[in-house]
Structure formats: structure tokens, C-alpha cells
Chains A and B, each alone.
Chain A
Amino acid sequence: MSETIGSGPVLAADGTPLKRSLQRSLRLQKLRALLLIAPLLAFILITFIAPIADMLFRSVENEIVSETLPQTVKLLDADGPSAPIVPGNETFSALYVDLYVAVKNKEHTRLGSRLNYEQTGVSSLFRKSGRRVRRLDVEIYKNQFLDVDPAWGEVTTWLTLMEDAKVHKALPQTMWAFSAWLDDVIEDGDKPEEEKLEDYIFVALYNDLSAVSDKAVSRDLINKTASAVGGFETVDFKSAFAKFDKDWHNEDVWKTLRVYSPPYTEGYFLNAVDLQKEFEGYSVRPENERIYGTLFMRTLFMSLIITGCAILLGYPIAWLMSNRPMREANLLMIMVLLPFWTSLLVRTSAWKVMLQQQGVINDTLVWLNIIDEAGRLVLINNQFGTIVAMTHILLPFMVLPLYSVMRTIPVSYTRAAKSLGATNWTAFWRVYFPLSVPGIGAGSILVFILSIGYYITPEIVGGTSGTFISNRIAYHISSSLNWGLAAALGSILLLVVLLLYWVYDRIVGIDNVKLGG
């Protein structure tokens, strides 16, 4: 600032230095503001944004297939459209190497579980094959390589090859197989030089050397061996796998493998909307497996009803609270907040006691002779029970914003309306109500969004007709462990909420949402 003033009338007329110094001071202010919110920002990033990003990522992530079976997937990817579904011995040979390493790392059953979501039976196929693959005798490969050159039996030979980038390029499968072995040895704390090379590495070496003729590696050992592998005796892996389990020759298994080999997949999202991704393309799930569409619609529909009920019940309370003297208002407020101080589980269970067929309400109705013993009403384990319990639980979220908005509506507005000739109803409907709409908006958004993701209450009192999409999400998170599908369902839910928010903004205007004064 001082330089601007100090440099005299010329610069003052020019104006630029002033602007620059203003910018500088504003930047300082912004920086200070940023520093102030930094802890919260970091907190939100870590606890909110990051998990959401992670969820979005998981809903399409499918690297498990290409990471567990990298060599097989490479060969499958290279297959043209006319290639047979069940591949030839070459691919099975690569599968052997992949599976052997996966079993070492205990990754094959997880892949089995993953693929079992798409194709029933793959889980046990992988588990069973995992046990058998370790027992398969492939020693002949090693023996034949040692016959060509005993150097192949030395770990040091391999360690030298590891350092050559060209070898990595020429023998990718071999180098991958060897590093898996090496990692394992080092992890156990052993010296590689003293360990015995495992047979599967030589299968990989054979696969590499027999695949392409021109190796372009200026190493005698490799060139010499490459010309010799043509006459090697081999194991028929294709038949061997069929002996593990005849499903390895089942086209459906390979179709699933081929469809789910890419690192990213839309399969989870398709499943989440009752479609499926098959080798032949997209299709609708069979009718007896369709559920998510129904659940999404039900969740939205019931959340709307719950929001409506909360408005109907909450509005009069909020109105009463804002129009009573402070002491009475506080008492009412405590009654509204009371549910907040009780555990959610206790509240929901209390509704069970109230609503069940041998419960308080039915007992009272029977006692009053309104219904007879046989005609006890079914009030719980259905949609009704869910709506009642959830409206009760979410009511404070409607009442509080309503109250804080209504409190700011001066009594003089209604009085003015009345003095202008409006009846009580007209004054309410034409003047008070429109002014309280922002409160309804805020409350509705809160209640709707909360109920759309509600889980415990529908689980306990919802029975079969009153459960929400979130119950399925929870199931896939904690029981079926299909986190990808859970993430896809969650992402769709998030999308629906954002969409509704946008629609709300278009219709009502988000400025019209007030949590208070």
C-alpha cells in the first residue's frame, strides 16, 4: 500500500499498483480463511470424500481377475472373436502358472468368490483346483531344461537374468513366475541361493520360449534353449484341468472369465439395476432374480411417504412451539428431542412392543372390544411398521428446521393478514404457510435423504415388504462380501439423491431452504 501512495500522483491515476496491492491483501485474507477451515477440510476429505471416492472406484474396479491370473488374461485378451470359448493347451499352461502362484499367495479362493457372484460354482472350482494344482507333477519341464544346460538349475543364473531388461521383455511370464518365487523366499527370510527352484517356473519358461520364435536376446543360454524346446515332452494341462474339475471345459466358466477379465467392469452397475453382463452382451436378469429395481422404487416411495408423514405430524408441533411462551416451547422441544437421547435400537424395539400382534396397541383394541382376539391387526414386519417407526425416529429432523424457520416469522404477518380481512385459514394459507415453506424444504430434504439410506429400523420392523435398498447394501457388505455390488448400489443411491436434489432445486429453489433465521 505504502509504495502506491509513496510513488505519487502518477501511479494513483494509473490505478494498477492499487489493484495489485488490493489483490495481495485479498489473497492474504483468503489464505487466512483457508487456514481456518483447514482442519475441517482435512477431516471431511479423509472421512467423507475419500470413502465416497473409494466407493465409486470399487463399483467399477475389477482388477482382481487380471491381477490373480495375469498370464491367462493376457492370452485371453489376445484371442480373436472367432477363437473357441474354451481355450487351448497354451492358455491352460499359463493358467497353471497363474493358479500355482495364486495358491502360494492364497488369492485363488478370493477370485473364486468374486467370480462366483457371476457364475455359480466357480468358488468351489477354484478352491478344488487350488488344492490339485499344487499336487500336479510337472517335474519333467525342469529336468528337460537342466538337460539342455545345467545353469538353469542355478539360482544365480536366474538372478542375473532378472537384471536384464531385455530378458524381461522376451520372457515376461518366466520373469513374473520367478519373482513370485523370489518374493516368497525373501518373505520367509531365506537366502535365494540356498533354495530350490520350483517346477512351475520352468513351465512358465517353456510357455515363453515356445510362444514366439524370435526372442532377440543376445544371450547364448536363452538362444540355445529356445531352439531346443521344440522337442520337449510336455504335460497336457488342458486334460489335467479337466481332471481337477470337468467344469474347466464348461464354456460358461470361460465366458465368465473372458467377460470379467478387464480391470474395470460395468458388471456391478448392471447387476445393481437387474441387468447382467454376459459374453453375448447385456441382458435382463431372469425374473426370479430381479430385486433391485423393486427395492429402489420401494425405498424412494416409502421415503416419500415417511417425509410426508413427518410434515403432517411435525408441522403442528413446530407451529405450537414457535407460538408458545419460551417455557412451554422448551418443554415441547425436550419432548421432541427425547427420542434423540434414546438409542436407535431401543426406540425401534419399543415400537415392536407397541405394534406386534400381542403388543400394546392390539391388546388395547381387544380390551376395548374394537377388534376380537382373532382379528388382531398386523402392524409390524410390514411397510406400515417401517413407516410408523421411521417417522417417529426422523420426526425431530423435520421439527427442528421447521421450528427455527417458524420462529423467525413475526406474529405481525398473520395479524396484518387478519387486519386486512383474512380469516384465520386464509391468513395461514396465504401468508404463514408460504413463509414456512423453506422450513418444510429443509426438513424434507433432511428426512428424505436420511430415510433413503436407513438400515437398522427397516431391518428390525420391516419384515419382507418394508425393507430398503440399504438392507441389501449391508448384506453385500457384511455377508456376501460382494463389495463391488454394494458400492454400485451405493453409488446409484448417491446419484438418485443428487438427482432429486437437483430436481428440488429446479422446482423449489435451493435458496428456499432454511435451517434457521
Chain B
Amino acid sequence: MANTAEERAFVEFERVQKSYDGETLVVKDLNLSMPKGEFLTMLGPSGSGKTTCLMMLAGFETATHGDIRLDGKEINNIPPHKRGIGMVFQNYALFPHMTVNENLAFPLEIRKLGKADREAKVRRALEMVQMGEFGARRIAQLSGGQQQRIALARALVFDPSLVLMDEPLGALDKQLREHMQFEIKRIADDLDITVVYVTHDQTEALTMSDRVAVFDDGRIQQLAPPDQLYEEPENSFVAQFIGENNTLEGVVQEIRDGLALVRLDNGEVIDTTPVNVSEVGERTKVSIRPERVEFDKERLGSEAHTLKAEVLEFIYMGDIFRTRLRVAGNEDFIVKTRNAVNQTRLEPGQQIEIGWLPEDCRALDA
């Protein structure tokens, strides 16, 4: 059954299931394959099974059913210390009773490297994360960001082919987090390592990853590159979870020419792109990104459907304006507009008409 694509896969989950109590499945029928050198992020809310998948890959949890393969080898029965996978933990798990150098030398000592080798590798790893002069420090003497770098260096110092990161930036403040996202990405690219990254922060997932696997309810809901994930969500969960999203509910009235006519619950009819609706009469959730909503009629085609809307709130956010509208009974309908020259600033209470291109409006599962 092995075809060429699978042979090239570096990490592979096949029909993997996991249950802790024998009654409910935390991971349901997981299939995933990633090539060498990829940066893959597992994204999802807590309890979605993403961390469990990571732990199974690391060897700290065993799969209840199915195979996990690393570089073509089944690793289900290989203990974690023989898998050769580097790992960065959520709280870094740096050994507090050792210095930075000792932490970094730990995996090398276990691999019985000579002293000179060890020192060279430790120095190189520290320099890679720009922490060259911190080697003699104790862990408690480092700031959160510095600890993060050391944790990264430690996971990489023994040249693993695969590195797992379990929400490594969760404890950092926003600015540092954004900086570290860039840093990690840079190092991963430089070293050309394969990374599986777990996070519940979608911005992090979108900015860093080659591909993102969105987890929910123990399944991968969508596995795609960031742009595709954002622009073409395959179901309403992904649409809701990734980025901001407006939802209108209704029933499919007609499907033709790649378009679906949806009658909203208040009777109005709009054009949508059918994604996972196939039958007339099916209930659907229609999803439109806030930045794709237009209220300037000139920018919409003449054939476009428009909806009446009332401005409820206008928020000035610097680079953008954020306007909350009441649309088809939905009072949380958001429109984002760029703070450009001559941009209209809507007033609360104002009655307007809004519209969008059918390809920006996706009819998803209810």
C-alpha cells in the first residue's frame, strides 16, 4: 500500500487513536504525514488532542491504536530516550539544579561525547540563540525569554532530526513572543530541521508554519498552509477558529454555476460559494471575513446582493477601524476597514447597505 509519497514522509501518523480511560477517545483516527524539513503546527483549543499527539510522538504516551512512524520506522515501542527527538516544553523544564552549560551538556554527556566536543557544541548552541555569555548562570538567574532561548538551545544541541515544541512561547509577554516566533522560525530554517509545534495561538501558527493542522474534538479539522487555512476554511469550526469571522445562518435555496443561493433566517437572500453544502434545503453557516465586507457600493459589482445594516458601534484602533453592525439579526457583525485617506468613518445609528464578493462568502456546515 506504500506509495512514493508515503515513503518520503518523515513523520507519519496512521489511524492513530488514544484513550485514557477506555471509554472516550481523546484522539480519533488521526492520519498525518509530513516531509522532512517541514514546520508543522498543531493548533486547536485545549482538550482538542493536539498535545496528546505530540506526547505520543515524543513517546511519553502510547497510542491505543494505530502506527506512528519516524523516518519510515515504527516507533510505537521505542522508549522516548531512544527516539532522538528534541523537545521544548511549555515551562521549558530546564533543570534548576544545573547551570546553563550543564543543562546543555546533559544530552551530550549521555551520548558520551568527549569534553572538547561537548564544549564546542554547547558554545555553538548558545551562540545560535545569542546567549553566548550566559553559560555559567543558574537557571533561576535567567529571565523568561532567556530561559526560552536556553530551552531551545538544549533541544537542538544534540542535533536531533525532529524537534517538538509544546506551546514554548505561552509564558512570554506579547512583544517577546512575537520576537521569539521570528527567532524560532529563523533557526528552524537555518538548521533545516523538522519541527512539530503545538500552540493554541492562531497568530503564532499562521506566522511560523509551513502547514497548520487544526485540531478539534480529537480530529484534524483541516491541514493546510496558513493562507489557504485563512482564506479557504473547509468547515465552520476552522472558519471560526482561525482569524475573526462573521457568521450568518440560513438555508440553501439553490446551487448552480459554482454558486449557492442562501436564504438567511430573516428572509434575505445572498450569493455564496458552497464549500461543504451539497443539497438544497440544507442548513448552513455562511462565513465572511470582516475585512472582505464592503459598504461602498461602487466597489461591488452591480449584480451583487446587498444587505441592510445598522451601525451599532465604531471603534478607532489606529491602523484600522472596527465597526460593529446589526445585519440580518446578528448584532455582532464586524467590519474592518483600513485607516486610509478619505476612508469613511461610520456613525452609530447610521443605516447603510453592505455587500461582498460571492467568493469571499463561504457556505459551510451548520
CA distance A422 to B108 in the complex (A): 10
Residue of chain A at shortest CB distance from B163: A419
Binds B, one of A98-106, A274-282, A428-436, A455-463: A428-436
Distance to closest chain B CB from A162 (angstroms): 75
Q: Which of A413, A421, A422, A426 contacts B93 (CB 8 A)?
A: A413
B166 → chain A closest CB, angstroms: 9
- List chain A residues, Cβ under 8 A from B91: 410, 412
Q: How far is the CA of A431 from the CA of B94 in the complex (A)?
A: 10
List residues of chain B with CB within 8 A of the CB of A12.
Answer: none
| Interface contact B95-A413, CB-CB below 8 Å | yes
Chain B minimum-CB-distance residue to A416: B93
Find out whether the CB atom of A415 lies under 8 angstroms from the CB atom of B97.
no
From A416, A422, A424, A434, give the contact of B110 (CB < 8 A).
A422
Minimal Cβ-Cβ distance residue in A for B82: A421
Report the Cα distance A426→B106, complex, angstroms: 10
B348 at interface, CB cutoff 8 A:
no
Q: Which B residues touch A410, using CB under 8 A?
A: 91, 93
Given contacts A412-B89, A412-B90, whether A418 and B97 have CB atoms under 8 Å apart is: no
Q: How far is the CB of A426 from chain B (nearest CB, A)?
A: 6
Contact of A421 among B58, B90, B97, B110 (CB under 8 A): B110
Question: How far, in Å, is A455 (CB) from chain B's closest CB?
Answer: 38
| A416–B87 CA distance with the chains assembled, in angstroms | 7
Interface flag for B264 (CB, 8 Å):
no
Are A416 and B89 within 8 A (Cβ)?
Answer: yes
Produce 1/0 per residue, A285-321, CB < 8 A to B. Answer: 0000000000000000000000000000000000000
Q: Which residue of A lies closest to B164 (CB)?
A: A419
CA distance A299 to B95 in the complex (A): 38
Q: How far is the CA of A415 from the CA of B85 in the complex (A)?
A: 12
At the interface, yes or no: A423 with Cβ under 8 Å from chain B? yes
Cross-chain contact B89 with A420 (CB below 8 angstroms):
no
- The reply on B60 being an interface residue by CB < 8 A is yes
Q: In the complex the two chains form, is A420's CB within 8 Å of B58's CB?
A: no
The CA of A59 and the CA of B60, in the complex, are separated in Å by: 62
A367 to chain B, nearest CB (A): 42
Given the known A-B contacts A426-B110, A430-B106, are A419 and B86 also in contact in the complex, defined by CB atoms under 8 Å?
A: yes
Q: Fill in one digit per residue for A55-92: 1 if any B CB lies within 8 Å of its CB, else 0.
A: 00000000000000000000000000000000000000
State whether B87 touches A419 (Cβ < 8 A).
yes
CB-CB under 8 A from A419, the residues of chain B are: 58-59, 80-81, 83, 85-87, 155, 164
- CB B10 to nearest CB in A, in angstroms, measures 18
Enumerate chain B residues within 8 angstroms of A424, measured Cβ to Cβ.
Answer: 81
A270 CB-CB contact with B under 8 Å = no
Q: Are A421 and B81 in contact (CB under 8 A)?
A: yes
| Bound complex: CA A421 to CA B108 (Å) | 9
B289 on interface, CB distance cutoff 8 Å: no
Residues of A within 8 A of B (CB-CB), count: 19
- Report chain A residues within 8 Å CB of B93: 410, 412-413, 415-416
Residue of B nearest to A419 (CB): B87
Contact string against A for B residues 166-208, beta-carbon threshold 8 Å, 1 for contact and 0 otherwise: 0000000000000000000000000000000000000000000
Q: A420-B106, A420-B110, A430-B106 are in contact. Are A415 and B95 (CB under 8 A)?
A: no
Chain B nearest CB, measured from A293 CB (Å): 40
Q: How far is the CA of A410 from the CA of B89 in the complex (A)?
A: 11
Bound-state Cα–Cα, A422 to B110, Å: 6
By the criterion CB–CB under 8 Å, are A422 and B81 in contact? yes
Name the contact of A415 in the complex, choosing from B80, B82, B86 (C-beta under 8 A). B80
| Cβ–Cβ contact B58 & A415, under 8 A | yes
A417 touches B85 (CB 8 A): no
Q: Which of A423-453 contact B (CB under 8 A)?
A: 423-424, 426-427, 430-431, 434-435
Contact check, B89 vs A421: say whether CB atoms are below 8 A apart. Answer: no
Give the CA-CA distance A431 to B103 in the complex, in Å. Answer: 10
Complex Cα distance, B98 from A422, in Å, reads 15
Interface pair A435/B81, CB less than 8 Å apart: no
Interface size, B (range):
20 to 34
C-alpha spacing A345/B110, complex, angstroms: 51
Give the Cβ gap from B350 to chain A, nearest Cβ, in Å: 50
- Rounded to whole angstroms, the CA-CA distance of A502 and B49 in the bound complex is 52
Query: Which chain B residues in 61-92 approach chain A with CB under 8 Å?
Result: 79-87, 89-91
Q: With a CB–CB cut-off of 8 A, which chain A residues contact B87?
A: 415-416, 419
* Chain B neighbourhood of A427, CB < 8 A: 81
Say yes or no: is B111 at the interface (Cβ < 8 Å to chain A): yes
**Contact pattern, B 271-285, Cβ under 8 Å of A = 1, otherwise 0:** 000000000000000
The answer to whether A434 touches B58, judged by C-beta atoms less than 8 angstroms apart, is no
Chain A nearest Cβ from B234, distance in angstroms: 33
B135 in contact (CB, < 8 A): no
A426 to B110 Cα, complex, angstroms: 9
**Please, which residues of chain B bring their CB within 8 A of the CB of A420?**
81, 86, 106-107, 110, 154, 158
User: In the bound complex, what is the Cα–Cα distance between A430 and B110 (angstroms)?
Assistant: 11
- List the B side residues contacting A412 at CB < 8 Å: 89-91, 93
Residue of A nearest to B60 (CB): A415
Complex Cα distance A415/B151, Å? 13
The residue in A412, A421, A431 that gathers the most chain B C-beta atoms within 10 A of its C-beta is A421
CB-CB under 8 A for A421 and B96, given A410-B91, A412-B90: no
Contact between chains at A421 and B60 (CB < 8 Å): no
Report chain A residues within 8 Å CB of B107.
420-422
Q: Determine the chain B residues whose CB is within 8 A of the CB of A423 once the complex forms.
A: 81
A-side contacts of B97, CB under 8 Å? 434-435
Are B81 and A418 in touch, CB under 8 angstroms? yes
Q: Which chain A positions have C-beta within 8 A of B155? A: 419
A278 to B154, CA, bound (A): 71
A431 to B97: give the CA distance in the assembly, Å: 8
* CB under 8 Å from chain A, chain B span 14-64: 58-60
Q: Given known contacts A420-B154, A421-B110, is B81 in contact with A415 (CB within 8 Å)? A: no
Distance in angstroms from A249 CB to nearest chain B CB is 73
- In the assembly, what is the distance between CA of A418 and CA of B78, in Å? 12
Q: How far is the CA of A193 from the CA of B79 in the complex (A)?
A: 103
Docked pose: A417 CA to B79 CA in angstroms:
13
Indicate if the CB atoms of B111 and A421 lie closer than 8 Å.
Answer: yes
- Closest-by-CB residue of B relative to A512 is B97
- Min CB distance A24 to B, Å, is 35
Bound-complex Cα distance A430 to B102 (A): 11
A415 touches B89 (CB 8 A): yes
A427 to B60 CA separation, bound complex (whole angstroms):
14
Q: Report the separation of the CA atoms of residues A136 and B242 in the bound assembly, to the nearest whole angstrom.
A: 114
List the A residue with the shortest CB-CB distance to B90. A412
User: Which B residues lie within 8 Å of A417 (CB)?
Assistant: 95, 106
Q: In the complex, what's the smallest C-beta–C-beta distance from B93 to chain A, in angstroms?
A: 4
- Chain B CB within 10 A, most for which of A417, A419, A421: A419
Give the residues in chain B near A421, CB-CB below 8 Å.
81-82, 84, 107, 110-111, 158
Report how far A412 CA is from B97 CA in the complex, Å: 15
- Report how far A419 CA is from B85 CA in the complex, Å: 6
| In the complex, the 10 A-B pairs of residues with the closest C-beta atoms, listed nearest first | A420-B107, A416-B93, A412-B93, A419-B87, A421-B110, A418-B80, A412-B89, A434-B97, A418-B81, A421-B107
20 contacts between A and B (CB under 8 A): A410-B91, A412-B90, A415-B89, A416-B95, A416-B154, A417-B106, A418-B60, A419-B80, A419-B86, A420-B81, A420-B106, A420-B154, A421-B81, A421-B107, A421-B158, A422-B110, A423-B81, A424-B81, A435-B95, A435-B97
| 8 further contact pairs, Cβ within 8 A, besides A418-B80, A419-B59 | A416-B94, A419-B81, A419-B85, A419-B86, A421-B110, A422-B110, A434-B97, A435-B97
